[in-house]
A and B are shown apart, each in its own frame.
Chain A
Amino acid sequence: NAGVTQTPKFRILKIGQSMTLQCTQDMNHNYMYWYRQDPGMGLKLIYYSVGAGITDKGEVPNGYNVSRSTTEDFPLRLELAAPSQTSVYFCASSYGAWRGNTGELFFGEGSRLTVL
């Protein structure tokens, strides 16, 4: 059972470059999320999606974009990388409300991004 899979695990970017972090889940979860975690800090929500075709901003969306064309995939795009985006990024998914959503998130292994 793969669960939530993120790629790449590590990436170094130069300022101004663009990249996409890929996330896919095989649990048929409706809800998907992108969080970032800075050193010594908790997780901050960047974007989330409640189903294919629906996305919304979280606490820290600036500098990022997302799309959700299928239930399985939720890529995160950085258009013009900045040093402030150096962080560890976690993709997560959860059951939708129709499954009596308890709020438990299933996390990917994380992607460590450094912007120099």
Chain B
Amino acid sequence: EDKVVQSPLSLVVHEGDTVTLNCSYEVTNFRSLLWYKQEKKAPTFLFMLTSSGIEKKSGRLSSILDKKELFSILNITATQTGDSAIYLCAVHFTGTASKLTFGTGTRLQVTL
């Protein structure tokens, strides 16, 4: 059964800290891994990773994929209160339809 596991489940940090969120997966027919940020409403897209070892970066956020060890990390440097959210990892696998399997998410709270 396809499985996506995120850790930690929740995290509280002080503004300015650096955090690393983890996502491991067991998925057949892997195609890509996606990170989403969810604040109060719908998830918003952050990154899509398909190749091992190539870092994707957007401002203070970056992510990398290891297809051999089947995991990805999402780094956030110099955290701000606006980074407080649930971060969802999802894996896209091919088959009869293009579907995403989501992890349970990591709830990040950034305090002053």
Least distance between B80 CB and chain A CB atoms (Å): 23
Pick from A40, A107, A109: contact of B104, CB below 8 A. Answer: A40
Interface residues of B (CB under 8 A from A): 4, 6, 31-32, 34, 41-45, 48, 50, 88, 90, 92, 96-105, 107
Residue contacts A-B, CB under 8 angstroms, 16 given: A40-B105, A41-B104, A42-B104, A43-B90, A43-B100, A43-B102, A45-B101, A50-B96, A56-B97, A58-B99, A94-B98, A101-B98, A102-B32, A103-B100, A104-B45, A109-B41
Residues of B contacting A109 in the complex (Cβ-Cβ under 8 angstroms)? 41-42
Beyond A42-B6, A102-B48, A103-B32, 20 extra complex contacts between A and B, CB < 8 Å: A41-B105, A42-B88, A42-B105, A43-B90, A43-B100, A43-B102, A45-B100, A56-B97, A90-B42, A90-B43, A94-B98, A96-B98, A97-B98, A103-B31, A103-B34, A103-B100, A105-B100, A107-B44, A109-B42, A110-B42
Task: Name the residue in A97, A101, A108, A109 with the highest tally of chain B Cβ atoms < 10 Å from its Cβ.
Answer: A101
Least distance between B95 CB and chain A CB atoms (Å): 10
**Residue interface bits A77-116, CB-to-B below 8 A is 1, else 0:** 0000000000000100010110001111101111000000
Residues of B contacting A35 in the complex (Cβ-Cβ under 8 angstroms)? 102
Please, how many angstroms separate the alpha-carbon atoms of A18 and B14 in the complex?
A: 46
Residues of B contacting A50 in the complex (Cβ-Cβ under 8 angstroms)? 96-98
Interchain CB contact under 8 A, B41 and A110? yes
Q: Which residue of B lies closest to A107 (CB)?
A: B42
